[in-house]
Structure 1
């Protein structure tokens, strides 16, 4: 087999293993269209044989903590731009059909980006003209 055939076969196997993971965990195929998917594949290629996948502990602990810190920094950058750019406050409601709960989320939009400000369970809140003011 030629080197080209080996590389092509390796790529196919990577695709198959990624596919098995998607199918097993019910990951929507559109997840491959996020900006985060190609860097995963590139990182696997660069790491080569030395790569070890993260453990459940690492994903739910230190790696998650790093991502939370990064998001907090991005939100803080957004907030710091508000006095210069102004913001648009937005709200959106949604219903959790399984638990029969209603939620209202509040977001800010500015040229720097959109940030979730809060989310509240409004299942037991009276829906009238003053609904949003009370939240």
Structure 2
């Protein structure tokens, strides 16, 4: 078998195993378009044979903790720019059809991007103009 044939066979095998993982876990195919997918494959290639994949424990514990810290730092960078650029406060509402709870989500838009601020359970409250003024005042104070 030629080197070209071996590479083609290896690529096909990689594609099949990645595909099996996607199919088995019901991962949407457009997850392959994630900007994090190619670097993950490159990191696996660099580490080389014999590397053990992270366990469910590591993914849900230490690795997740590191990612949360990274996102917190990223959001803090966004917030540092707010005094210079200002923000637009945005909100949207949704209803949990199972629990019948109503929620309002609050986000901040700035030239750096959109950041989630908070979610408020507004179930059972009278939603008049005074309610929204008080709620938005509270969010503005938090920001």
TM-score, normalized by length of structure 1? 0.89
| Stretches (4+) displaced over 4 A | none
What is the deviation of 1:122? 2.4
Q: Is it true that 1:51 corresponds to 2:51 in the alignment?
A: yes
Tell me the SS of whatever aligns to 1:116: strand
Looking at structure 2, the residues matched to 131 and 45 of structure 1 have their Cα atoms a distance apart, in angstroms, of 55
Q: Over aligned residue pairs, what C-alpha RMSD do you find?
A: 1.6
Aligned mates of 1:100, 1:15 — CA distance in 2:
43
Bigger drift between 90-99 and 5-14 goes to 90-99
Q: 1:134 to 1:19 in 2, by over 3 A?
A: farther
Unaligned runs of 5+ in 2: 136-143
* Alpha-carbon distance in 2 for matches of 1:85, 1:134: 25
Which of the two has higher C-alpha Rg? 2
1:119 corresponds in structure 2 to 119
Following TM superposition, by how much is the alpha carbon of 1:50 offset from its aligned partner in structure 2, in angstroms? 3.1
Q: Which runs of 5+ in 1 are unaligned?
A: none
In structure 1, the residue matched to 2:96 is 96
Are residues 90 and 27 of structure 1, via their aligned partners in 2, closer, same or farther at CA, if it must alter by over 3 Å?
same
1:106 Cα deviation (Å)?
A: 0.4
CA separation of 1:132/1:22 partners in 2, compared to 1, >3 Å: closer, same or farther? farther
Which whole-Å CA distance do the structure 2 matches of 1:95 and 1:16 have between them? 40
Distance 1:113 1:91 in 2: 15
> How does the TM-score come out when normalised to structure 2?
0.85
